[in-house]
Amino acid sequence: MNLWLVAAAALLVAVIPCVLVAARGDVVDALVGLETATTVVTLVLLLLSVGFDRPPYADVALVTVGLAFAGGMVFVRYLERWR
């Protein structure tokens, strides 16, 4: 276990509050929790890629960050219309 993996494990703890918010709050709170969680997970994936010394795995983090934005915008669009 190296420094990067330790940091990834510590960073993963930050997902717990986001999951709690998404589970307990209303739909807008849940979306905010989801957005925060995707940011954290993106960084965790990047750190895991460095920690395991597998540079191609960083592509997963790169794809995640793009999809998180697209997914978030889709949720926002429907949230605005659906009341």
Least distance from C-beta 38 to another protein, angstroms? 9
For residue 51, the 8-state DSSP code is H
For residue 65, count other CB atoms closer than 10 A to its CB. Answer: 16
Cβ contact 60:26 at 8 Å: no
Q: Which positions touch another protein (CB under 8 A)?
A: 1-4, 6-7, 10-11, 13-18, 20-21, 25-26, 28-29, 31-33, 35-36, 39-40, 42-43, 46-47, 49-53, 55-56, 58-59, 61-62, 65-66, 69, 72-73, 76-77, 79-80, 83
CA dihedral (45, 61, 26, 19) in degrees, to 10, reads: -10
Closest distance of CB 18 from another protein, Å? 6
Minimum distance of another protein from residue 60's CB (angstroms): 10
